Amino acid sequence: MMQQKRPFPYGTLILSIVALVSVPVMIIRYLYGLGAMSNLSDGRAWGLWISFDLYCGVALAAGGFTLAALVHIFNAEKYHPVVRPAILTAFLGYIIVILALLVDLGQPWYIWHIMINWNIHSPLFEVGWCVMLYTGVLALEMSPALFERLHWRIPLRFIGMIQIPLIIAGIVISTGHQNSLGSMLLLLPYTLDPLWYTPILPALFFVSAVAVGPAMVILESTLSGMAFGHAVKLDVLSGLGRIIPFFLGIYLIMKLADLAAAGQLDMIVNSYPQNVYWLAEVIVGVVLPMVLFSIPKIRNNRAGLFGTALLVIGGLIFNRFNVSLLWQEIRPGYTYFPHWMEFAVSAGVIAWAIIVFMLAIRLLPISEHRGEAEAPAGRVPEAAAS
């Protein structure tokens, strides 16, 4: 499958360069400490890596559990072709999180301390366990693709047997995880801006993750369709586009009702400049996509779907940056803007993940539409598990 004629792979070249640049940067970090390659300080102990790789990475991996629930629990057969790519994307999202944490943590080799020293009151304790457990679950959920490729019947049948419990476990762990990322911010009642701080942050995190999950699947399907020339049927993607406004609507109502209940609706107008960030996040990332996804003309058009999905994703990323970085007070006397090496690590980690993703797509039966363009969904023969 590798010998088809292709133009010079500029994309792959750039990816490889970005991936390789991150290697010496990581070496600098382990030799000279975090201070040598980041602008993190006592004033700003968490920066780009936590906001982007952890907060956004986990949220953007939500496609995995939302699609798994949609197809395997709610039995929406139609979306079956995108489950595996969605779970693969989620898996890679978690790999990104773990790789970034290996750089960000002071002493990552002691991460196993979290298994023996429990502080069950810490939201980060929950987050840590969820990252470990869910990565394991995702690996198991992905494993049929590998076993099919290797024609290993017995493990395949075993995974098939535990498939539904596995999927339910995945849903529970990742819902808990999305929640707990919000709970982490609950410890900051005095440093997170009141426009964002609310006791219902965990619920907001969860609902927005559910909304962004299908949007990520649209994005990922469109991109890999362009890269590999096997587009997912439009009908599937516009179906996803139909689901998203529903969850965005719940999210919007929760956000507004929460501010209203706290008697703080006036902050939307008064708390300049925070309100500009808040409004940008809500209007561009929530209200606008709700409108666009509701217009059939846009929903039944690949470019329209792709663009609107990007708005949802952009809005979520902006939200996570607002709460985890921009509107968290910095200690007096400090400033923070990420060092170029911080960007290099974040970009490098993503480049590594995309390389793995492309290899997986080429080598494993991930996409069920290999080389069939828009032909009626003929399935690649599959064993019991999927």
Partner 1 sequence: MSKGVLYDGNRCIGCRSCQVACKSWNRNPAEDTTNKGGYDNPPRLSATTFTTVRFREVDHNGKFHWAFAKTQCMHCLHPACEGACPVGALKRDKDTGAVVYDDGRCFGCRYCMVACPFGIPTFEWDDPLPWIRKCTFCSGRLDGGLEPACVTACPTGALQLGEREDLITEARARISASPDKYVDHVYGEKEAGGTSWLYILPVPFEEMGFPALGEEAPTENPHIAMRTLPYYAGGVVVLMAGFYWLTKRKQKLSHTGDKHGKKEGVAK
Instruction: Give the footprint of partner 1 on residues 9-68 (CB under 8 A).
Output: 29-36, 40-43, 45-46
User: Does position 180 bind partner 1 by CB under 8 A?
Assistant: yes
69 binds partner 1 (CB under 8 A): yes
Question: Is 9 or 108 the residue whose CB approaches partner 1 more closely?
Answer: 108
**Residue listed under structure tokens 């007070």:** 329
Q: 253-258, long-range: CB within 8 Å, 24+ apart, which pairs?
A: 254/200, 254/203, 254/204, 254/207, 255/204, 255/282, 258/198, 258/200, 258/204
333 is a contact residue toward partner 1 (CB under 8 A)? yes
Q: From residue 4, how far is each of 1, 57, 155, 280, 306 by CA, in Å?
A: 7, 33, 32, 45, 28
Rg (CA), the chain: 21
Query: Under the criterion CB under 8 A, does residue 371 sit at the interface with partner 1?
Result: no
- Measured CA to CA, the distance from residue 342 to residue 185 in angstroms comes to 23
State which residue, 182 or 214, has the beta carbon closest to partner 1. 182
Asked if 190 touches partner 1 (CB under 8 A), the answer is yes
At its nearest, how many Å lie between partner 1 and the CB of residue 19?
23
Q: Does 113 bind partner 1 (CB under 8 A)?
A: yes
Residues binding partner 1: what is the number (CB under 8 A)? 72
The answer to whether 209 contacts partner 1 (rule: CB under 8 A) is no
Q: Which is nearer to partner 1, 128 or 348 (CB)?
A: 128
CB of 84 to partner 1, least distance (A): 12
Residues 236-295 that bind partner 1 (CB under 8 A): none
The reply to whether 161 sits near partner 1 by the rule CB under 8 A is yes
229 makes contact with partner 1 (CB under 8 A): no
Q: How far is the CB of 298 from partner 1 (least distance, A)?
A: 30
Question: Does 140 engage in binding with partner 1 (CB under 8 A)?
Answer: no
Residues 6+ apart with CB under 8 A from 111: 101, 105, 128
Q: Work out how close the CB of 109 gets to partner 1 at its nearest, in angstroms, rounded to a whole number.
A: 8
Does residue 171 interact with partner 1 by CB under 8 A? yes
Which residue from 289, 215, 183, 207 is spatially nearest to 256, judged by alpha carbons?
Answer: 207
Give the torsion sign (CA, 334, 337, 341, 345): positive
Which residue blocks in the chain are alpha helix, DSSP H? 10-32, 48, 57-60, 63-68, 80-104, 113-116, 123-150, 153-161, 163-186, 201-228, 234-261, 267-270, 274-282, 288-294, 296-299, 302-321, 340-363
| Residue 153 touches partner 1, criterion: CB under 8 A | no
Q: Which stretch binds partner 1 (CB under 8 A): 141-149, 179-187, 213-221, 277-285?
A: 179-187
